[in-house]
Structure 1
Amino acid sequence: MPDSPALSVLRRVFGYESFRGEQQAIVDHVTGGGDALVLMPTGGGKSLCYQIPALVREGTGVVVSPLIALMQDQVDALTELGVRAAFLNSTQDWQQAKDVERAFLAGELDLLYVAPERLMTDRCLQLLERGRIALFAIDEAHCVSQWGHDFRPEYLQLSMLHERWPQVPRIALTATATALTRAEIAQRLALDAARHFVASFDRPNIRYRIVEKNDVRRQLLDLIRGEHPGDSGVVYGLSRNRVQETADFLCEHGIDALPYHAGLSASVRAANQSRFLREDGVVMVATIAFGMGIDKPDVRFVAHIDLPKSVEGYYQETGRAGRDGQPASAWLAYGLQDVVQQRRMIDESPGDDVFRRRLGQNLDAMLGLCETVECRRVRLLAYFGQTITACGNCDVCLTPPESWDGTVAAQKALSAVYRLQQRGQRYGAGHLIDILRGKSTDRTRQHDHESLSVFGVGQDISEQTWRGVLRQLLAQDLLMVDGEGYGTFALTEASRAVLKGERKIMLRRDLEKREKTPRGGARGKAPAVDLPAEALPLFETLRAWRGEVAKSHGVPAYVIFHDATLREIAMARPATLDELGHISGVGARKLEAYGADILGQVR
């Protein structure tokens, strides 16, 4: 029985023997003219779900993408496969744009990538009216959600595609969306009748780890040196100053780190992004403006040095690790000040009470993930409505945390806040802990706080443990941050039950000393891949050859071949072009272009 047109394209163009998961069902549905909303985790193969239907159907697949800085790489990768692809965006001059428009009208393009801002211009809409469109693919569809973490106002206008081209199938794709966000995407893009395809959100190759913040830059350096020396990674911070200072710190300590934030010029950001994509072992320190659509498969770790604002944002960002399916780390350090800062930002945020309440719910879910004493992955996937058993590959599963009855400690802390409130006073964590521990300071003496009945009632608990107690009281909504912007504490409605002894408080016990790396801080580079010793020399030879080819073509190395393909070649040691053609990821175009060279490297 002959292959279907879609399977034939998958094998001939992309070099894969079979579809994964729901890819085939999605491809068949869209190829047949149906609309689809696709949720698939990063690295799950979303792009094939629109690229293959675009190649099978008559006309050009129009891809709406917010990622101007990455369109060139996406087009380069398709061109390497022999696919006729181009883009239209603001980086092109008049002549380049005109050449692309001519190719589209002549039917010489399989795929055309367009930024949403460009798509909405009269010139672009008139151009599309004159050509033949195979489908519309709306990538990073969560950008349409006003509750989402990457909201783009231009996406709100994309519902007009259905109005102007009602017969052209549309496929909207994202890696991250709760049921609520999914419903919003469908409604705003007029995809109410679209078929939904929701793959599992689980990324079993990623190890999740959340630690208490304690000199976070040093903790980060220990992580990179001890577990990921020479690896590519992404470090996320909330502010541009935080990002810049952390990148500088890592560079001072011998890590090849680059910053990415809004304070840098567009040219510097583009140059840093290009280096990260094209070179091995670069660590990008960035605000959340970086990373959407980054297709680098060998990012071995994603670290957060500040608390993310939502579980959706956290999942999206950590998903950039380990796209190749190899082991990767998602590491987050957070502390009391993170909670105080986030609560304060919500109170001060513009918008109505409904908006602030939604932000508060997002933060509560994130804090719940941080403070959980059950499997991180169970908690993470439950947020997206999926149920799994304990994963065995997160810090909670590997080193189960202790919990302790913190009711008395909570009562002492809340009583201290209450006594200060009675005096019309509010203070932050540092002074509150001084009072609880009975530490005499200029401030305690000046304000006569040493006469308070709660002064010194918590001497038996260390300062670090008290910070953990206060952080968890904030997380459980038993303390609140004032709305005046000072980061001081006040009681909540829920505090009363604890003070009256009507509610028991269980707390997670934090480690008293700085976290040790699982490998004991070993400095040596671990093997990059899990390969038999006899295959490693050939794998490294192939990587070096690939690097030279990529450099000469001006593209990232993974555009030539992914590591997974080179691993399979190193294991199989093909001796003929026919044998090489059966390796996953070696399509007809790449076999023709690189087959002889690869066989030479194997020999």
Structure 2
Amino acid sequence: MDPLEEALRSRFGLDSFRPWQREAIDAVLGSPGRALVVAPTGGGKSLTYQFPAAVLEGTTLVISPLVALMEDQVRSLTARGIEATYLASTLELDERNARESAMLRGAYKLVYAAPERLASESFVRMLSRCKIALVAIDEAHCIAQWGHDFRPDYLRIGSLLERLSPPRVLACTATATPEVRREIIEQLGFANTTFSEVLRGFARPNLHLAAKTVDGPKQARAAVIEALETAIGQPRIPRGGAIVYAATRKTTEQYAELLRKRGYNAAFYHAGLDGEARTRVADRFASRKFDVVVATNAFGMGIDRSDIRTVVHVQPPSSIEAYYQEVGRAGRDGDEAQGLLLCSGADIALRRRLVQMGSDGEAADASLAARAWQLFRDLLRYIDARSCRHDFVLRYFGDERETLGGCGHCDVCQEIAQHAGDDGTSTEGTTLIVRKALSAVARANKRAGMQAVAEMLHGVDSERTRRFGFTGLTTFGLLKEHSLPWTVALLRALLAAGWIDLTTTEHPVPVLTRNGVSVMKGEVEARIVLPLEPRSPAPSSSRGRGKTTRELPPLNPDDQAVFERLRTHRAEIARQKKVPAYVVAMDRTLIEMAMVRPQENHELLAVHGMGPGRVEQYGEGFLRVIKGE
């Protein structure tokens, strides 16, 4: 029998390694002795350092950011007869000193330490006197300043490794884009040595993903209740647990109260609670005494509960990495589970304020705020995606080898299946439209941006399209039967689907990707839901004591936020000039501006309802709003 398999059975009670676990463990125990493991939440990353620690001579140091996670893993290891402890500032000084003394004697196989302990010179000196066989960095994405959960204390790990020169180093994370992985490699000094990179598949076939744009809190509350009833059933006999994530502490408390009134055994969790209260909520949820926890992102790491049937975000988190880590807590038992992400225009404005605010309440560093906003914009692209959500995530994390060509059960794939065979929305008809758009990107040959390519497809004969030579191309006017905003939305959907990309030049222009070329040539079917044509709002009524009714067209969250800013700007102009708002611009005009995003006065002229007179009077103001100035 393989000695490692035998040790796995005797020490951990498991029959076999997962293939990627064995690959990582072989890299750590053999050559090169250094590895970066990227695997989704609940995938079994901890075994990749716990097992080597159990069979190696000496002590394994595990850098971990959460005390609750350390406590949980130490309890589990101790129960298996593997000596382990943790060191954190929450311990009394005498207890911490006793554990460090035992560590010097080699009493532990694993020692978990919070990253802030590395700030103590005496602690680092003590480590240098120990026989460290392996240093494992858990939640390694925290070392990346451009990641979603940067922790400054993690920056000390690189110098610690230089000082200790351990024979083996393992970095683990559940969320790391190619860019973040490069930064981890650089910070840990892997770039100058040989190491193994184990990228475990991010596909979660049992997780049904969905995203929904809501108008406001009332619609969001209804969506949450519906999601819980669908996933875990009625409150009296729930079929498992649920986590509801919110962006603010106040919102967690409001939703917990709402769910309690609906009969659910629910609690809230956020960083404003004292440590004892947070531990109590986490323990009661893990032991199934609470069915639902409404929480900020402070909740979740180390929660050992496999029957979570749904994770609902009532407000979007900070990034795709954060979202996939949090939604990945559903369905760890392999049974079907749901993930629902809600977003409103107000949520986008809230996130904008949050990224501009530093941890101390002061204004955040401009470059960090800009990066955080870009991460959130990536999440908005996910929300706006009109192709398979699982494939979107796989492409984002650079795991294109496992792209699914449509998972078949996310909300987009289900909509594609529902429309298959309908006139105008058939897969064949959709593929033809997509191929026309991709052909236009190819024929543009990097000469112009998305807006100009959309104008070419729509058949706009203007100075700009003539200057680019677009009016003489065979792709000119190929989609003239569709509106210009619809065509822009189509190109954005193709960007989200990974069939076109934007250059990294000062003025980004669209280019075809390898997959996009395959779709354009007809080698691959275009599995995508086409955008809806924008509709004019229903006429408003001034009857009924000034109340108005209107129906807005479906906008993606980013466009909705721009529309709301334009509407606020219009109201201010109307107030100053003492005229009705529609005299300045109609809602339909603002909607088209929000979707098309004109940058110059001549582009405003192409927007419905913006004639020369309006452009002269109001154009500059609208452009400033669109540009965010």
Q: Same fold (TM over 0.5)?
A: yes
Give, in whole Å, the separation in 1 of the partners of 2:556 and 2:172: 41
Using structure 2 for the length normalisation, give the TM-score.
0.67
Give, in whole Å, the separation in 2 of the partners of 1:114 and 1:343: 34
Q: 1:290: how far off?
A: 1.5
Give, in whole Å, the separation in 2 of the partners of 1:487 and 1:306: 29
CA deviations over 1:410-469 (Å, ceiling 9, x no partner): 89xxxxxxxxxxxxxxxxxxxxx9997333389999xxxxxxxxxxxxx9xx84543x23
Query: Counterpart of 1:588?
Result: none
Query: Counterpart of 1:394?
Result: 410
CA deviations over 1:462-490 (Å, ceiling 9, x no partner): 84543x23746348x78867999x99988
Q: Does 1:265 align with 2:274?
A: yes
Query: Counterpart of 2:299?
Result: 290
Q: Secondary structure at the residue paired with 1:437? A: coil
Greater displacement, 392-401 / 315-324: 392-401
Q: Secondary structure at the residue paired with 2:294? A: strand
Relative contact order, higher structure (CA 8 A, sep 6+):
1
Q: Does 1:236 align with 2:225?
A: no
Q: Counterpart amino acid of 2:24?
A: I
Alignment CA distance shift 1:107-1:469 (3 Å): closer
Q: 1:292: how far off?
A: 2.5
Is contact 2:355–2:364 with CA below 8 Å preserved after alignment? Answer: no
Give, in whole Å, the separation in 2 of the partners of 1:101 and 1:348: 38
Q: Secondary structure at the residue paired with 1:399? A: helix
Q: Counterpart amino acid of 1:88?
A: L
Alignment CA distance shift 1:50-1:212 (3 Å): same
Query: Counterpart of 1:321?
Result: 330
Query: Counterpart of 1:591?
Result: none
Query: Counterpart of 2:380?
Result: 367
CA deviations over 1:317-365 (Å, ceiling 9, x no partner): 1111122222211111222332343345556773455434423322322
Q: Does 1:184 align with 2:197?
A: no
Query: Counterpart of 1:26?
Result: 24
Q: Does 1:248 align with 2:257?
A: yes
Q: Counterpart amino acid of 2:270?
A: H
Using structure 1 for the length normalisation, give the TM-score.
0.69
Query: Counterpart of 2:503?
Result: none
Q: 1:396: how far off?
A: 1.3
Q: How does 1:75-474 map to 2 (within 5 A)?
A: 75-192=74-191, 193=193, 194-213=195-214, 215-229=219-233, 230=238, 231-279=240-288, 282-343=291-352, 345-346=354-355, 350-351=363-364, 354-387=367-400, 388=403, 389-400=405-416, 407=483, 437-440=539-542, 463-466=550-553, 468-469=554-555, 471=557, 473-474=559-560
Is contact 2:380–2:557 with CA below 8 Å preserved after alignment? Answer: no
CA deviations over 1:78-120 (Å, ceiling 9, x no partner): 1121211111122322343233223322222111111112243
Structure 1: runs of 5 or more not aligned: 412-432, 446-458, 504-603
Greater displacement, 171-180 / 320-329: 320-329
Give, in whole Å, the separation in 1 of the partners of 2:230 and 2:288: 21
RMSD of aligned residue pairs (Cα, Å): 3.5
Q: 1:409: how far off?
A: 7.7
Aligned residues: 462
Q: Secondary structure at the residue paired with 1:258? A: strand
Alignment CA distance shift 1:289-1:92 (3 Å): same
Alignment CA distance shift 1:117-1:493 (3 Å): same
Q: Counterpart amino acid of 1:407?
A: S
Give, in whole Å, the separation in 2 of the partners of 1:407 and 1:441: 33
Q: Counterpart amino acid of 2:211?
A: I
Query: Counterpart of 1:44?
Result: 43
Give, in whole Å, the separation in 1 of the partners of 2:389 and 2:146: 24
Alignment CA distance shift 1:67-1:352 (3 Å): closer
Alignment CA distance shift 1:496-1:200 (3 Å): farther
Alignment CA distance shift 1:343-1:99 (3 Å): closer
Q: 1:497: how far off?
A: 8.2
Q: Counterpart amino acid of 1:170?
A: V
Q: 1:247: how far off?
A: 0.6
> Which of 4, 7, 10 pairs up with 1:9?
7
Q: Secondary structure at the residue paired with 1:196? A: strand
Give, in whole Å, the separation in 2 of the partners of 1:410 and 1:26: 47
Q: Secondary structure at the residue paired with 2:19? A: coil
CA deviations over 1:134-154 (Å, ceiling 9, x no partner): 101110011112222222111
Alignment CA distance shift 1:463-1:262 (3 Å): farther
Q: 1:123: how far off?
A: 3.0
Structure 2: runs of 5 or more not aligned: 420-424, 431-480, 488-534, 574-589, 609-629
CA deviations over 1:563-582 (Å, ceiling 9, x no partner): xxxxxxxxxxxxxxxxxxxx
Give, in whole Å, the separation in 2 of the partners of 1:238 and 1:95: 38
